[in-house]
Structure 1
């Protein structure tokens, strides 16, 4: 029997599988209800709505062997909001989704769910040319999403990606693009809802995670939106014990992003969280250690990045002017370093340059280290590009 007729029959079978598919498609409206505080879930989409096909062109092609249609596991998984991880202890592949997790091994015709149930796939998992292929039944039986092979590298599924995904070690994270619902959990287990991050307008977005200790993780999101994508937002969220306990967001609006570094991650076990003009040092469990009002301290009404934290000083940079400020943590006093280190001519050059231009450089000062009370900075000249070394001595108060 030819490939086309088999694919046609599989397409017709999508409606029969829609009872499983509705479980996945119910996710978005249920999350909307969580976000709005509704007490009952909304209506589940109809079978016809759930069976709308999305055509995909993947990196690797499918094939048929002994009557079984094989699909590339990694390619398909990423487009169905599933995360794939190798479990070296069990020599198995774990495929984890929001409502189901399974493990499987090459050469075996079955998969095991997180609850220990067996799913028969009808054929073995194969590895060809370093690519893992699974029978198409894996996705319909385990995750409720039928996969239709349309020849070569073309596929169709009744599903559209809704989540941004990331992982660190064996901890997995999913963020709903529309409602900001965050899920987390170990690979091979069904994740739990951690909370809601105040995201909006996600467009050019990336997400990463970092392990702090056995119970706590930091999730970082960066997004650029609009045309020409000059609305830049950074989020840092703290998850402890499976729950979202703290979050912070800073928004920068301007064509200029030169010289704006990411916020330093932590200092002495406290996570650095910047909420626009407020710096908070937070314990891994979410308790606040110290808060700084950067607007009040510096007198600069702008969004900030925190480049360095030490026992007695902070280095912060306001977005618009891009000039590095030193804050004495004991006295609460702040100093604009370019006015202390650069020549009068270089100061005048910087102050005359419109800070709304896309190539406005900021002060070009970069902190390179500390020796006692002496701080070292490297400066790149504005016109010649020469590298100059500067030092600054902390006041006796520090």
Structure 2
């Protein structure tokens, strides 16, 4: 998502890639400038630094760039073999050897890896040939740019992921692009689909429906300080994707329901699809824009739904709106449940991290909806709204 791609960062090599000194790396005869462009968690960035050249081969300190790629770094008991891994990505090199292990296969590097102590670092530095570092991190070696006089590298991957075990199957979502995999035991992971989106601070929810469908929901918060929300829903039948949807709520909150009365609810922020369990057929499509009546460029999350009503929250003004599915009549609950004094305090607590409309939906019991009212400077209280009032409009 372009709006989530941060402006290119020129990171200090003093912080990220310790440059080898003559005392640290012997036989370094010259250096080459390079630009390293990589994926972070929900963003892209780059930095510039210099390689060292040893016996005609460009080298880079690999532990630092592996850390940026979210790989764990370990040394074996001899202190001569360095390993880097994260889920299915596995890399290992040995001091003085040209042979590396990359994702279970032997690879011959241009020159031998070498490990050196850095007095300013707690961990051993690991130097590998530059081109191998790019290959190992699934990047693209763009070659020498005569205009900038440096080697350019792009699309260095990030291997951060989220996973959850459900009914003996491990489901994994990569944060770099939202690829979804399933793994049983020690078997090879199977790619199910991709969300085609970069993720930041994510949570994955997996559940089976009564009639055998599988719903995977990914909620992601992004930006600083993670005040933006996006939602992804993927519905599977016998391992195949049959329905999917996604929505970026920006400052708005994400959906709180995905089903009712044994029906599945899929929301893209503007249209709500009611899905039949078992078949995956669309039973009904609800146009949220028409129901809410606040204009076209709006997005809505779903907080509650049954056959009589739907409770939605606007991602822009963040107001809860209760709508009758039978008559189309609606009420803004901020106007109905808050006193003038409460409304005044809630309006003062505005902004992306503010109280919104001050209302949090708690539960439905029979004909009654329960809410809490809270904001900065306002004691938390409970409020209720009867659906009989909505029916009488």
Question: What secondary structure does 1:177 align onto?
Answer: coil
> What displacement does 1:366 show?
1.7
Once superposed, what is the RMSD of the aligned Cα atoms? 4.2
Q: Match of 2:193? A: 195
Q: Distance in 2 between matches of 1:143 and 1:60?
A: 19
Worse overlay, 230-239 or 297-306: 230-239
Q: Match of 1:204? A: 200
Q: Is residue 275 from structure 1 mapped to residue 268 from structure 2 by the alignment?
A: yes
Q: Distance in 2 between matches of 1:346 and 1:243?
A: 49
Q: Is residue 367 from structure 1 mapped to residue 361 from structure 2 by the alignment?
A: yes
Q: Which of 63, 72, 83 is residue 76 of structure 2 equivalent to?
A: 63
How does 1:294-333 map onto structure 2 within 5 Å? 294-301=288-295, 302-333=298-329
Q: Which of 258, 261, 264 is residue 257 of structure 2 equivalent to?
A: 264
> What displacement does 1:59 show?
6.1
Count of residues in correspondence between the two structures: 282
Q: Which of 95, 104, 128 is residue 142 of structure 1 equivalent to?
A: 104
Question: What secondary structure does 2:136 align onto?
Answer: coil
Distance 1:310 1:153, change over 3 A: farther
Q: Distance in 1 between matches of 2:73 and 2:175?
A: 27
Q: Is residue 78 from structure 1 mapped to residue 86 from structure 2 by the alignment?
A: yes
> What displacement does 1:373 show?
1.3
More strand by share: 2
Q: Match of 1:171? A: 170
Q: Distance in 1 between matches of 2:280 and 2:108?
A: 41
Q: Is residue 388 from structure 1 mapped to residue 356 from structure 2 by the alignment?
A: no
Q: Distance in 2 between matches of 1:138 and 1:284?
A: 49
Distance 1:384 1:219, change over 3 A: closer
Q: Match of 2:245? A: 248
C-alpha distance after superposition, 1:305-338 (max 9, x if no partner) = 2122334322211112111111223333322112
Q: Match of 2:141? A: none
Does the CA-based 8 Å contact 2:86-2:159 persist in structure 1? no
Structure 1 residue runs without a partner (length 5+):
1-7, 9-50, 83-96, 98-136
Structure 2 residue runs without a partner (length 5+):
1-24, 26-58, 92-98, 117-122, 138-156
Q: Distance in 1 between matches of 2:262 and 2:106?
A: 43
Does the CA-based 8 Å contact 2:171-2:180 persist in structure 1? no
Distance 1:297 1:218, change over 3 A: same
Q: Distance in 2 between matches of 1:385 and 1:252?
A: 27
> What displacement does 1:164 show?
5.1
> What displacement does 1:244 show?
2.6
Does the CA-based 8 Å contact 2:163-2:171 persist in structure 1? yes
Distance 1:275 1:166, change over 3 A: same
Q: Distance in 1 between matches of 2:331 and 2:108?
A: 62
Q: Distance in 1 between matches of 2:200 and 2:175?
A: 15
Does the CA-based 8 Å contact 2:181-2:190 persist in structure 1? yes
Distance 1:176 1:165, change over 3 A: closer
Question: What secondary structure does 2:204 align onto?
Answer: strand
Q: Distance in 2 between matches of 1:269 and 1:81?
A: 40
Distance 1:327 1:262, change over 3 A: same
Question: What secondary structure does 2:303 align onto?
Answer: strand
More helix by share: 1
C-alpha distance after superposition, 1:48-102 (max 9, x if no partner) = xxx988433576641345xx96656xxx3317547xxxxxxxxxxxxxx9xxxxx
Q: Using CA pairs below 8 Å that are at least 6 residues apart, which structure has the higher relative contact order?
A: 1
Does the CA-based 8 Å contact 1:181-1:197 persist in structure 2? yes
Distance 1:284 1:264, change over 3 A: farther
Q: Match of 2:37? A: none
> What displacement does 1:297 show?
0.7
Distance 1:261 1:217, change over 3 A: closer
Distance 1:174 1:332, change over 3 A: same
